[in-house]
Amino acid sequence: MRHRVWVVGAAALSLVTGLAVAASASASTGAAHTARTSALGVKTGLARHIPFCEALQKGKIAWASSGAQMFCFGPQPQHGGSLNPPGLRPALGGTPGNVDAASPREDHSPALVQLYGQSETSIAAAGPYVVEAWNDSTSFATNCGARMNKEEGTGFGFSANGGHSFTDLGGLPNPGCTKTRFGGDASVVAYVHGGHTYFYISSLFNAIRGLFISYIGFDACEVIGTGPRATLHCGRPIIAASSKQCIKFIGGGFCSFLDKDFMAIDPARGRLYVSYSEFPLIGAGNPVDMSVCSLATPARPTCKRGTPLKFAGHLGGGRFDVGKPYFTVAGPSSRGCLNEGSYPAVNVATGSVYVAYEFNPATNIFNPGCFGFRNKTRNVITRTPHSCLTFTLVAACSHPKNRASVAVFSMTAAFVPGYSRFPLQDFPRVAVSSRFGDVSMVWNDVRHHVNGDILLQSFKVGSLKRVQRFPTTLDARHGGGVTFLPALRVANADGLIDVTWYSRAGTGTAWTSVVGAIGVSPAATRTPANVTITNRPSNWLTTNSDINPNFGDYTDAVLSATGSWPFVGRRLYVAWSDGRIGVPQPFEAHLSAG
């Protein structure tokens, strides 16, 4: 059988607005990486000499996350264009306090070089304790062994006073940083058990030498002490998922690439679930997979991530090894249409796990095989009952029991002024309301306005039958400005959901705020009232960042966790990348959710 080695059959480079970054791949055969040169002629990072990174560099992959670009290319300087015309700055508004969870004073390398940009945020809280994590540009110019683990691409901050202030803790602890590194795409969840509070912080976690294997890793962190003097102690990295295709040569090799991880917790059963995409070495399209971890020992979870790699033949002059993931949420498209942006949620009442993802983002404009109506862009939601998710190498079921989808009028082709991501994404965020018996999905969509709205579609938790006949618009009328990147994680104690998103007040401005709809019924059919989360907007055209995309691929919003039913408190925590100081920073705000 003749094989072809490739990664996702798409056909365009993830373009950069602002400062264009050119790449060179001129290393000799067998080198582990090649230098990457910017348009200014300055070496700006390491472009990994592996198929995934080369395909991304040459335009054979239509979309890859911020963390993936950090791993492949290092810093990608971004800056805005000209200032907005006078008079376009909206009035300051909103009642919650806004707090920078990082410290720009910590964002310099051991050589005293200031790095620019902490973005792509996730947040979790329990009682007075809050953790926010982000992609950290300081890692671009820092070697293993640096103070505060600054070589790690995933940074985090800790608050012991309910989010009123944070301590920037640098990068996630990783004693094995000479071999593997955390690489962004952070996800944070909180767990309260036995009177102790734990936070789990996941991200991409990739080898940097030898066999370039790709992992999803996380640190288990425990709150030590009480009150305002409490601290956060994090253990060694734990592997939640790993590449399932590898080609091994003497002295090295390369593997499939894991991307876009996100976690959900089942506090009633002590489970942690991680969903992610895998870019394979062979074949068109990519699957969405999931792993499971037991929290029986909360400080040291154990994970089931599929079968080990096993010899499957020879390919391209090397040994070809394959494995099987713990659970496949969605198989690859035969036409090479992308599956990306998966987010999990748990029905705490039953233990069922729901994973939502977008089918055909980016390939809907870059791969002609994905242009037709049969491959229309859609957000898909799946249901897998707890009985399927046995704590074994692989799950008892081979696929989800239920699946439903909704058409997406996609914003993929939008260029958002001041935002360095193209293509844009319409990834769904998902939450379960056990009280209503619904699971809700939100996303940005242009069916009503060319610059997007935030839409809500709910489904019955068992059958996944639609609750609303048509999706409900959540953003109130706001002048037609861009509206995108919604956040949603869990329902509150009354079964209501809280959704936040980026919003601009009109079409002639790049001043960006975070807005939300708080306490929304999953069955809502009318647009609810909106509140402003940011107390000051930021001008994305005047920010300075070494990360692409400069403001990340997602925002986050979650209720505080508790140790008893319904396992959620009444305080909502919101996290987003904010450019008010001229550099993207991981901000936090909190407000009562009922």
Return the sign of the alpha-carbon dihedral for residues 197, 202, 207, 211: positive
Q: What is the pLDDT of residue 551?
A: 97
Angle made by CA atoms 142, 145, 148, in degrees to the nearest 5? 75
Structure confidence by residue, pLDDT tens digits, 236-295 = 999 999 999 999 999 899 999 999 999 999 999 999 999 999 999 988 789 999 999 999
d(CA 440, CA 428): 10
3-state secondary structure of 162: coil
**Please, what is the average pLDDT of the chain?**
89
Q: What is the pLDDT averaged over residues 314-342? A: 95
Residues 199, 131 contacting (CB under 8 angstroms): yes
Does residue 505 register a pLDDT over 90? yes
The DSSP H or E segment spanning 53 is: helix 51-58
For residue 298, what are the CA distances in angstroms to 190, 198, 511, 558?
11, 7, 42, 21
Q: What is the pLDDT of residue 4?
A: 35
Q: What is the pLDDT averaged over residues 345-370? A: 97
What is the chain's Cα-based Rg? 22
Structure tokens at 186: 């952070």
pTM reported for the whole predicted model: 0.90
Q: How confident is the model at residue 25 (pLDDT cuts 50, 70, 90)?
A: very low
Give the residues across from 590 on adjacent strands.
Answer: 573
Would you list the DSSP string of 383-410?
A: EE-GGG--SSSS-SSSS-SEEEEEE---
d(CA 334, CA 141): 40
d(CA 338, CA 332): 8
Structure confidence by residue, pLDDT tens digits, 209-237 = 999 999 999 999 999 999 999 999 999 99
3-state secondary structure of 419: coil
Q: What is the pLDDT of residue 319?
A: 96
Angle of the 66-73 helix axis to the 51-58 helix axis, nearest 10: 100
Q: What is the pLDDT of residue 42?
A: 34
For residue 273, what are the CA distances in angstroms to 210, 244, 290, 499?
29, 18, 7, 22
What count of Cα atoms within 13 Å lies in the side-chain half-sphere of residue 380?
22
Exposed e or buried b for every residue in 176-186, given b needs 16+ CB within 10 A? ebeebbbbbbb
Would you list the DSSP string of 191-236?
A: EEETTEEEEEEEEEEEE-SSEE-EEEEEEEEEEESSGGG-EEEE--
d(CA 347, CA 27): 50
Residues 6+ apart with CB under 8 A from 242: 213, 214, 215, 216, 258, 305, 306, 323
Structure confidence by residue, pLDDT tens digits, 124-150 = 999 999 999 999 999 999 999 999 999
d(CA 213, CA 244): 9
d(CA 314, CA 89): 61
Would you list the DSSP string of 92-140?
A: P--SS--EESS-GGG-B-TT--B---EEEEEEEEETTEEEEEEEEGGGG
- Write a three-state SS string for 435-448: CCCEEEEEEEECCC
Q: What is the pLDDT of residue 217?
A: 98
Does residue 565 register a pLDDT over 80? yes
